[in-house]
Structure 1
């Protein structure tokens, strides 16, 4: 399958097949010459050779600005190009070019592709920000919201393919997209909006319904955890107490006592043991804390009792609450409330309320509908993947069962609905696979009790086998909880494969 590329690149590919240039060594002069590449509505700002380092080969780093304000980075192997293309998404509200590549991880990073000889690219999604929870860029700026919502995906692909055509004298013959969280939303959005651009897609912990999640659900979590004086009700100490009791009652439900809950849907916790008495004053919950916990597990509802977003915060996610919900003693964390605040102030509504707005102002009767315009721009929760499936695309979706911010119930619901639209789970499995990972934090950012984090996962290898050898994926685990490489496929459940 050929990727869509600019007419100039297609003409060059016709004259000199891409395969003829695979593996060929390129010169520093050829890299520098990319500064003169002419593209519609985009221009190169720099091109330089970066030396090989760690696990990465030497590559030509090209920075491009695509109008109105999308910053793009393309990395082209100086030697050993495999003839293929790999594009990475970005996390949160993005705004920092190549942020994921500043560390050693693979999530939302170009690293996995570059290590394997792919030409790679990413973007800041169309704006500059001071951090991934900064939403000020979107204030009265629908063009920037559009670029963040979907347009930067296509523009990054377009720019990268033009540069690939110039540098290698031919187009790439396969394209892959990888992203987690917002990057996971971008991955599924690519399947909807650009079904012909990517042959393979990896979508981790996808924030599919941004208005429902960040607008409604996260505001619900904040309101439920704020008392009449504006103080937090459940903090990191209560999270530890709750988490210990959850593990005590639910750990062995899956038949294994390992500090990890395989599926929180199987947990039925009796929290009455945490009522304050004479013998547990240091490890108990107040009535207000019990009420907050019940609302967190339930998820957002309106006054009529209608569920506004699937499920709530899953059992087993408590060790990660300090980062996403409660903060810690050092004042770090509480990323979820920061997202909710900035989203509501600058991104969610047709008329941005600005810095005076807080999640305490969210109205669960009227505000979900008030975000309809934003939902069209941002959301990727349509279960209709027919266009992507019909052209033969393959997608791996993965998420942790212990994800406290992008709660897993929406992902499972979306996957099941996609199966029904496809005519059954078996039909969907020809193109789309879901892996739910027990004990895994959001995007595997924090290590779980079993040692499982992002570094224990490898969805890239099974996706390549699916694309190139027609071998369906059975696991995305790179190693077991104890650190050994995975040697056998994981077990499956009724809903989806489970990486364990």
Structure 2
């Protein structure tokens, strides 16, 4: 192969094993002159039974992906696949700074959008050369940062993929990272660190109060739009970590409400009632433990100071940094552009889902993005011709929680692209610790919800139907 600014590091014929079929593994680097960046890319090409499809994969947190880790699942499904580190190794946000603490805008762009595009162009070129044909389907499949990368491809490079599957997408990046810090800031400013068992009590109490609203008591909040549980109802409750106080209730309500400015005006969304509150607002023995990815966003990207002590932050500084985050990085990494007309016109199809109990990325931010997408694309009917959004009640970040997480998103996208059958709902499932299914539910398109038909087991999807919301 002779590709622009690309070096092939290795091409290895890998024999079949019990878990992975035989394939050709290729490692490459791509540079962007005059920068001295190195975007590492891995491409894996089945040597037998290729299904005629290419699958791009994404990363998580500040990791662009895993270009040296064999994508066993994709290969078992007979895909040619690719991954990239998006210009830096590891999962730290420190790549954003040069040694002199100036911003490395090339690596920021590599991570924000360019690395995945270069992986896609390179991977598709190898597929074309290896299999000797130009006709194949291309799909992107990712969760969290991978979900952001997926939607960034649709926004910036609308012809890269025929179909896109995105889960728990980290869109609205420039807003939700400062928002992840909101609870920690409020606890610090108030001098009251809410203990983990009190946070757990609040989440459990919200579930208990709102769970029956959908007609089925099953340990999760199906009517997420109608749940408005107030933590003040818990004041005076005795816990293993002390009595739940009015100050505790005020802080929990602020976490659920989300960041507000000095006039009380909305900045961003909070966590849903029923989501685990400890991931972003954790503490140990009264010492606060901020979420690492959000903390690194402040240190490396905004303040350009790796040693910054977050405990020195004031409310006024927080508001300024929130504005800076949006203004400085909107163009490169926000991934919230609702104009997907070029992707639509290229024939692309995208499906994405988000769990209401996501403890890291604010679920309503994705709802907000989809609502703006509908407004930009001509309304619900026009938007659903190429883009569909599914809500998974009670599901955490990329899975987990008490709800039933989608199991067939990529397959649904493939069926939509290749057979014209748009997914009206997804299949959701929750397994026990041994991997055995214990709950199945339809995962419905927003704003529809899974309604119990009134008969049969409430653990089986066949006894539910997607219908209008509970209001």
TM-score (norm 2): 0.84
Give the Cα separation in 2 of the matches to 1:340 and 1:425. 33
The counterpart of 2:74, out of the listed 113, 117, 123, is 113
Aligned counterpart, 1:299: 258
The counterpart of 1:93, out of the listed 56, 62, 82, is 62
Aligned counterpart, 1:226: 188
Measured after TM superposition, the shift of residue 395 of structure 1 is 0.3
Measured after TM superposition, the shift of residue 428 of structure 1 is 0.4
Check 1:496–1:151 CA distance in 2 against 1; reply closer, same or farther (3 A cut): farther
Aligned counterpart, 2:272: 314
Secondary structure in structure 2 of the residue aligned to 1:317: coil
Q: Contact 1:41–1:66 (CA<8 Å) still a contact in 2?
A: yes
Measured after TM superposition, the shift of residue 299 of structure 1 is 0.7
Aligned counterpart, 2:85: 124
Aligned counterpart, 2:20: 56
Runs of 4+ in 1 over 4 A off after TM superposition: 279-283, 480-493, 495-500
Map 1:328-477; keep pairs closer than 5 Å.
Answer: 337-348=291-302, 352-358=304-310, 361=313, 363-371=317-325, 372-444=327-399, 447-450=400-403, 452-453=404-405, 457-477=407-427
Check 1:480–1:209 CA distance in 2 against 1; reply closer, same or farther (3 A cut): closer
Check 1:353–1:120 CA distance in 2 against 1; reply closer, same or farther (3 A cut): same
Secondary structure in structure 2 of the residue aligned to 1:120: strand
Q: Contact 2:199–2:252 (CA<8 Å) still a contact in 1?
A: no
Q: Contact 1:64–1:72 (CA<8 Å) still a contact in 2?
A: yes
Secondary structure in structure 2 of the residue aligned to 1:264: coil
1:144-184 per-position Cα deviation (integer Å, ceiling 9, x unaligned): 00100000011101211222233222335211011111111
RMSD: 2.9
Aligned counterpart, 2:169: 206
Aligned counterpart, 2:203: 243
Check 1:358–1:42 CA distance in 2 against 1; reply closer, same or farther (3 A cut): farther
Please list every run of 5 or more consecutive structure 2 residues that lacks an aligned counterpart in the other structure: 32-36, 98-102, 452-460, 465-471
Secondary structure in structure 2 of the residue aligned to 1:60: strand
Please list every run of 5 or more consecutive structure 1 residues that lacks an aligned counterpart in the other structure: 1-36, 103-109
Give the Cα separation in 2 of the matches to 1:488 and 1:322. 27
Give the Cα separation in 1 of the matches to 2:61 and 2:253. 27
Q: Contact 1:184–1:207 (CA<8 Å) still a contact in 2?
A: yes
Measured after TM superposition, the shift of residue 224 of structure 1 is 1.7
1:36-81 per-position Cα deviation (integer Å, ceiling 9, x unaligned): x322111111221233345532111111111121111101001111
**Which shifted more, 238-247 or 175-184?**
238-247
Aligned counterpart, 2:100: none
Measured after TM superposition, the shift of residue 360 of structure 1 is 5.3
Q: Contact 2:390–2:446 (CA<8 Å) still a contact in 1?
A: no
Aligned length: 436
Q: Contact 1:84–1:172 (CA<8 Å) still a contact in 2?
A: no
**Which shifted more, 483-492 or 236-245?**
483-492
Check 1:141–1:491 CA distance in 2 against 1; reply closer, same or farther (3 A cut): closer
Check 1:197–1:491 CA distance in 2 against 1; reply closer, same or farther (3 A cut): closer
Aligned counterpart, 1:217: 179
Check 1:89–1:144 CA distance in 2 against 1; reply closer, same or farther (3 A cut): same
Secondary structure in structure 2 of the residue aligned to 1:202: strand
Aligned counterpart, 1:22: none
Secondary structure in structure 1 of the residue aligned to 2:142: strand
TM-score (norm 1): 0.80
Give the Cα separation in 2 of the matches to 1:213 and 1:375. 12
